[in-house]
Chains A and B, each alone.
Chain A
């Protein structure tokens, strides 16, 4: 940081408002793609694990290992194959969502009370109807808890993808480090935190709208 320079230069903020907006957009897009694709894969794997319980061990073991690989290392490993691309970024981001999402989807469905399932079967629901009309709706609260954690984690991780040229709020953090410029650093870091808080809040609202039975007086 240059001596005598203020912590935040408001004039820079104002003159770069357009770029900040663009980076916020990139950040959200990277997050949305990662969580959406991650959810799709996690959902299919969860259905497989629910139908064939033997699969749950290997699935959770594999996604657990993916989760423990440091993100920088993962990107470095992928660059020879997929380059400095969006694909490289999303492969990393998606793989980090899987463990949390699969655990919550499976736990949510398994947590449906046995007597509810028994009553549904006894009244003539098919197995497929039980899954889609009873088990998954009842698992929504637990599934949403997983989506919230996955989203917050991803928003944090997206700052790293600036290193492979994918923009987002991480761009300002890199800029701040390179130029010893605290304003950019703060915009990048604080911006990412604010995005995470807002995303989490919106997901809570969506969940409440989707599960009215969980919060009636």
Chain B
């Protein structure tokens, strides 16, 4: 298939997931308590909260690895509880922290798992495997016949994502998929995954306990506590208007700084351009740069200001008070 159709395909690829009053009880313990939320099509919805908040249980109820005690889970309006669990799981991508690649199968065979279960013709499977391996930055000819033990942790994690996407699922469930790799690799994997998710248009429900990851990846973030949904909002809103003290503490006392990472230099008010010679040593900032990175550079410069340039155009001067004013203007009363 030609790549140029990716945009059009993205529109119809993602599924909408809706949880309605979903409850899971283990004896007297309530793991998930009347949870209702909608994960919009083609977007990343992050479930986050402290250990035992019910985020993983909620995720695993969507593909029925755990059966809800009560409530309904709808994928594009169809109740998953009325479907055969194995058939359902073959249509949903699933990635876990430990990856769980099959050690006795080659990388190619691992990626081919679900298409094979679905009975795709061999030629189509082969083409899809090579396409996916290229998509995650592998040379198919070189990597296809290797075994998982021959790969690094980061490479294994990429293969896990490719395997989950193999049968073009409209929905992927990911349980702390980048939790077990070192921070540098994690950041790379997150960026690659964002790119991949945007081009493929898959709906993703993503569990993490890392608030920075939630803010970076989530289109919407659901904060959970003891089985209940506390707040469900886009990351910027979560940071600007935490629903209560629990959320405020959870997103961290540095939430102002975190918000800066979601804002760009281009969105801030600027002082008019002044003579560059008076800004000796000031960093040069581009409008696309995050305010957090801009602030970091400004703080170490003598002038405490930044010169904003868009290519050759000199747009103005960013000062610390502009950044502060921007944060305050979105602050709750």
A contact set with B: CB distance below 8 Å: 113, 115-126, 129, 134, 137-138, 211-213, 216-217
Q: A124-B89, A126-B86, A211-B104 are in contact. Are A118 and B147 (CB under 8 A)?
A: no
A118→B87 contact, CB < 8 A: no
Bound: A133/B262 CA distance, A: 46
Q: A124-B86, A125-B117, A138-B104 are in contact. Are A119 and B94 (CB under 8 A)?
A: yes
Chain A residues near B63 (CB-CB < 8 A): 122
B117→A115 contact, CB < 8 A: no
Within 8 A of A (CB), among B92-130: 94, 96, 98-105, 113-114, 117
CB-contact partner of A119 in B87, B99, B150, under 8 A: B99
Chain A residues near B101 (CB-CB < 8 A): 116, 119
B150→A216 contact, CB < 8 A: yes
B300 within 8 A of A: no
A125→B86 contact, CB < 8 A: yes
Q: Which of A116, A118, A119, A134 has the most CB of B within 10 A?
A: A119
Q: Mark B46-88, 1 if CB is under 8 A from A, else 0.
A: 0000000000000000010100000000000000000000111
Bound: A126/B117 CA distance, A: 10
Chain B residues near A117 (CB-CB < 8 A): 100
Chain B residues near A125 (CB-CB < 8 A): 86, 117
A-B contact pairs, 29 of them (CB 8 A): A115-B99, A115-B100, A116-B100, A116-B101, A117-B100, A118-B65, A119-B96, A119-B160, A120-B100, A121-B65, A122-B65, A122-B89, A122-B96, A122-B173, A123-B90, A123-B114, A123-B117, A124-B87, A124-B88, A124-B117, A125-B117, A126-B86, A137-B104, A138-B102, A138-B103, A138-B104, A211-B104, A216-B146, A217-B150
Bound: A122/B102 CA distance, A: 13
B147→A213 contact, CB < 8 A: yes
In the complex, residue of chain A having the shortest beta-carbon distance to the beta carbon of B113: A123
B326 within 8 A of A: no
CB-contact partner of A115 in B88, B89, B96, B150, under 8 A: B96
Q: Name 18 extra pairs, CB < 8 A, besides A134-B104, A213-B105.
A: A115-B96, A115-B98, A116-B102, A118-B65, A118-B96, A119-B94, A119-B100, A121-B89, A123-B89, A123-B163, A123-B164, A138-B102, A138-B103, A211-B104, A212-B147, A216-B147, A216-B149, A216-B150
In the complex, residue of chain B having the shortest beta-carbon distance to the beta carbon of A133: B102
Bound: A169/B104 CA distance, A: 40
Q: Which of A120, A129, A213 has the most CB of B within 10 A?
A: A213
Question: Chain B nearest CB: distance from A155 CB in Å?
Answer: 30
Q: How many residues of B contact A (CB 8 A)?
A: 28
Q: Which 9 A-B pairs have the closest CB atoms?
A: A119-B100, A124-B90, A115-B98, A122-B94, A124-B89, A115-B100, A213-B147, A124-B86, A213-B104
Bound: A211/B149 CA distance, A: 13
Bound: A71/B149 CA distance, A: 44
Chain B residues near A113 (CB-CB < 8 A): 98, 100
Q: Mark B10-25, 1 if CB is under 8 A from A, else 0.
A: 0000000000000000
Chain A residues near B89 (CB-CB < 8 A): 121-124
A118→B150 contact, CB < 8 A: no
Chain B residues near A119 (CB-CB < 8 A): 94, 96, 99-102, 160
In the complex, residue of chain A having the shortest beta-carbon distance to the beta carbon of B164: A123
Chain B residues near A122 (CB-CB < 8 A): 63, 65, 89, 94, 96, 173
CB-contact partner of A116 in B65, B94, B103, under 8 A: B103
Bound: A113/B156 CA distance, A: 15
Chain A residues near B104 (CB-CB < 8 A): 134, 137-138, 211, 213
Chain A residues near B100 (CB-CB < 8 A): 113, 115-120
In the complex, residue of chain A having the shortest beta-carbon distance to the beta carbon of B110: A119
In the complex, residue of chain B having the shortest beta-carbon distance to the beta carbon of A139: B104
Q: A213-B147, A216-B149, A216-B150 are in contact. Are A120 and B117 (CB under 8 A)?
A: no
Question: Chain A nearest CB: distance from B143 CB in Å?
Answer: 13
Question: Chain A nearest CB: distance from B40 CB in Å?
Answer: 23
